[in-house]
Chains A and B, each alone.
Chain A
C-alpha cells in the first residue's frame, strides 16, 4: 500500500511538472509582456531595463527555474489588470468558490443518489423513465441558459431571490442549484446502472430471503456496494464542477475564482490565468490521487 501511494505521488508530481512546463511555454508564446507594461513613449533603453527587471533577458531554462522557484513560494507575479499580487487576487476569491462548490457537490450527490436509487428500484416504471428523461435533457440543455431562466423566473418575475452577487443565504440558492445540476445527469445515470447491477446479486437476494425490510436491503446492503464504482467518477465530477463554476459564477456575478478566470482570459491577464490553471491542476491531481487510494482501500480486491 505504501509503495503504491509513493508511486502514485511520483507520477502526480511528474504530471504536474509537465503541466507547469506547458503553461510556462504558453505564457512566453502569448506575446512580449514588456510591450503590455511599457508606456507608449518608452525608448529602447527603457524596454531593455524593464526586461532586465522582469528577468526576461536570461535564458529560457533559467527563466523556467525562477518561475518554478517563485511558484512554490506562492509567488505568481503581479496581475497585469489591477497591479496586485496574483496570490492576493486569488486568495480573496477562493473562499467564495469553495463554499459554492462544496454546497453544490453535496446537493448534487444527495439528489442524484435519491434519483438514481429510485429509478433502479422502480426499474421499468414511469418513475424510471422520468428520471431517465431528466438525465437526458440535463445532458443536452446548456447549463448557462438554465441559470439565465432561473434568474428570470425567481429573481426578476417572482422577485423571491437576488439576481446576483454574494450576501445572505438567499444568494446561495440559485447558484448552488444550477451548479449542482451540472453533475446531476451523469451521476444519476451512473448510480442507476451500478444499483441495477447490485440489486441483481446473490447477497441482495439473501438479504431479502432473510426477511429484511426493503428499505434496509436497498439503502444499506445494496447501496454500499453500488457506491464503489462511483468513486472512480469522483475525479470527473470534480472536473465538471470546475467547468460549471466558471460558467455559473459568470452568470451570477459570483466573486469566485471561476469568474476571475473568465474575466482574466477576456482581459488577457496572463499571470492570473497561469496561476489558476496550475492551482486547478494541483487540485485535480490530488483529487484523483485520493480517489485511487480510497478505491484500493475500500475494495480489497484491488491491489496494485
Chain B
C-alpha cells in the first residue's frame, strides 16, 4: 500500500515533469556551470602541452586511462579540459551577440513600426538586404580586415544579426499601435517615448524572449564554423569549432579529438533549439510553424 503510493507519486511527478523540456534544460545548465567554473572543474590547463602523452585515447579504449578521460590531442592537451573551457567561448560569444542584436533590433523595430512612413520603408529595405546576405561571408570579410579575435567574431555576428529582431518586432508593433490601450494612453497625453516603453514594450517581451532563445543555437553554430575555418577565436584559446578542425586530418587514427567537441556543439545547439521551440509554443503559439 505504502509502496503503491510511492510509485503513484513518482509517476505523477514524472508526468508533470514531462511537460517541461527537462533534458535540454539539464544540458544547458551543465554547460553554463562548466563555463562559469571552468578553472575549478577542468582536470588540466586547456593549453598545457604534454608531448609525451600525445594522442592518448579516451579511458574506455585500450591504451587509455582515467587520467585523460576523453583522451588527448596531437599536442598532448587534455580533450576534456579543452571542451570545458570551450564552453566559455561558445557561451560568452552567444550571450554578447544576442544582447547586442536584440537591443539594436528591438529599438529599430519599435521606432520603425511606430513611426511608419519613410523611415519604416527605408529600414525594411535595409533589413531585407541584411536577411538575404549570408552571415558567414560578412564574418569572413571582417575577419580578413581586422584579423581573428573575440571582438571580430562578436562584431561580425552582430552586423547582420539584428535584422530578424527588427523585422519581427516591427510586425508586432504595427499590430499593437492600433490597440485601444495605446489610443487611451495617447488621449491622456502620454508622449510617444512613454507609450513605447511603458505600454507597448511589455507586450513584445514574449516575442523577444522566444527570438533570443531560438538564436542561441544559430550563433553557436556560426561561431563554431568560423573557428573551424580559422577566422574565429584565435588559438591557443580552446573553441569547439577549432578543436574539430584540429582533429580533422587525424580522424581515422584519433577520432576522439574531433568527435567529442562536435558532440558538445550538437548537444548544446539541439538543447537551445528544443528549449526555444518549447518557450515559443508556451509564450507565443502564433509563431508556431507546425
- Enumerate chain A interface residues (CB-CB to B < 8 A): 11, 15, 18-19, 23, 26-27, 29-30, 136-137, 139-142, 144-145, 148-149, 151-152, 156-157, 189-190, 192-193, 196, 235-236, 239-240, 242-243, 246-247, 250-251, 261-262, 264-266, 268-270, 273-274, 277, 280-281, 284-285, 288
Contacts and interface: CB of A to CB of B under 8 A. Distances in A.
29 contacts: A15-B125, A30-B144, A137-B266, A140-B266, A140-B270, A140-B273, A141-B269, A142-B241, A144-B225, A144-B228, A144-B245, A145-B244, A148-B258, A152-B251, A193-B289, A236-B132, A239-B134, A246-B140, A246-B229, A247-B228, A261-B140, A265-B140, A265-B143, A265-B230, A266-B231, A268-B144, A274-B141, A277-B137, A277-B138
Contacts of A288: 128, 132
Contact of B265 (A145, A250, A268): A145
A142 B132 contact: no
Contact of A273 (B125, B136, B140, B241): B140
B54 interface: no
Among the interface residues A142, A149, A270, which one has the most CB atoms of the partner chain B within 10 A?
A: A142
B248 A189 contact: no
Nearest to A189: B289
A264 B143 CA distance: 10
Contact of B229 (A242, A247, A285): A247
B262 interface: yes
Among the interface residues B145, B147, B252, B273, which one has the most CB atoms of the partner chain A within 10 A?
A: B145
A261 B147 CA distance: 15
A139 B137 contact: no
A62 to B, nearest CB: 22
Contacts of B138: 277
Nearest to B159: A22
B224 interface: yes
* Interface majority SS (helix, strand, loop, mixed), chain B: helix
A8 B137 CA distance: 24
Contact of B133 (A30, A140, A284): A284
B135 A243 contact: yes
Interface string B141-152: 111111100000
A142 B137 contact: no
Contacts of B251: 148-149, 151-152, 156
A236 B134 CA distance: 8
B95 interface: no
B134 A152 contact: no
Interface of B: 125, 128-129, 131-138, 140-147, 217, 221, 224-225, 228-231, 241, 244-245, 248, 251-252, 255, 258, 262, 265-267, 269-270, 273-274, 289-290
Contacts of A142: 221, 224-225, 228, 241, 244, 262, 265-266, 269
Contact of B134 (A19, A189, A196, A243): A243
7 tightest A-B CB contacts, nearest first: A140-B270, A145-B262, A193-B290, A156-B252, A140-B269, A30-B145, A243-B136
Nearest to A137: B270
A148 B248 contact: yes
Given A26-B142, A144-B228, A273-B144, A280 B137 contact: yes
Contacts of A269: 144
Given A240-B134, A281-B133, 8 more contacts: A23-B141, A151-B251, A192-B290, A246-B229, A247-B225, A261-B137, A265-B141, A269-B144
A239 B133 contact: yes
A15 B133 CA distance: 11
A192 B288 CA distance: 13
A189 B277 CA distance: 13
B132 A152 contact: no
A261 B229 CA distance: 10
A268 B145 CA distance: 7
A238 to B, nearest CB: 8
Contacts of B290: 192-193, 196
Contacts of B134: 239-240, 242-243, 280, 284
A288 B138 CA distance: 18
Contacts of A270: 144-145
Nearest to B231: A265
Nearest to B139: A265
Given A148-B244, A193-B289, A250-B229, A273 B133 contact: no
Contact of A262 (B135, B140, B265): B140
Given A30-B144, A144-B225, A136 B270 contact: yes
B93 to A, nearest CB: 15
Contacts of A262: 140, 229-231
A268 B241 CA distance: 21
B274 A136 contact: yes
